[in-house]
Amino acid sequence: MNRFTDIVRRITVLGTGLGSIFLAGIMVLIVASIVTRFFGRVIPGSYELIELMIVVTVAFSLAYSGIKQGHVLVKIIVDLFPERVQDIIAGFTNFISLIFWGVVAWAAYKITIEKGILEVTDDFLIPYRPFRFIFAFGLLLLALAFLIEMVKALKRGLKR
């Protein structure tokens, strides 16, 4: 399991680096668009480029949040239980999250396969399909992060 965790973590960190580069590109493009509008010009295709870059940024940001456990946890009532029960509850909630995000990733993949063949952007004719695959892959990484956390929580619960 440690090797699997390490592989998922490395892929997520690499994707997050790519997402960070795209985020910097988004910021530069937005600032350039604002400046050029001040002079009465418009950067053609800036909206569609920003939309595509946001997909990469968001997909890997979700996965990174899952790996780093950056999601919101509400443990007001759960903290009242013994630690073993807390671990079992954490395993169960991670299982529910795994199922949910796994289904969302699968649905995103299915939509990409069914719809993504001919769809392209208006200005630059960039195909949407690779970006939809990246989004589905990011969601899959998020689901795998919940799988890893579920196994960790259940192992902790069984050891106590």
Instruction: Show pLDDT as tens, one digit a residue, over the chain (160 residues).
Output: 789 989 999 999 999 999 999 999 999 999 999 999 988 888 888 889 999 999 999 999 999 998 888 777 777 888 888 888 888 888 899 999 999 999 999 999 998 888 767 788 888 888 888 999 999 999 999 999 999 999 988 888 877 6
pLDDT score at 61: 93
For residues 136 and 123, the answer to whether their CB atoms sit within 8 Å is: no
CB neighbourhood size of 69 (10 A): 9
Domain containing 12 equals 2-159
List all residues 6 or more positions away from 97 whose beta carbon is below 8 Å from its beta carbon.
Answer: 143, 146
CA nearest to 19, candidates 60, 71, 62, 47: 60
Supply the DSSP symbol for 4. Answer: H
pLDDT score at 103: 97
Q: How many domains does the chain have?
A: 1
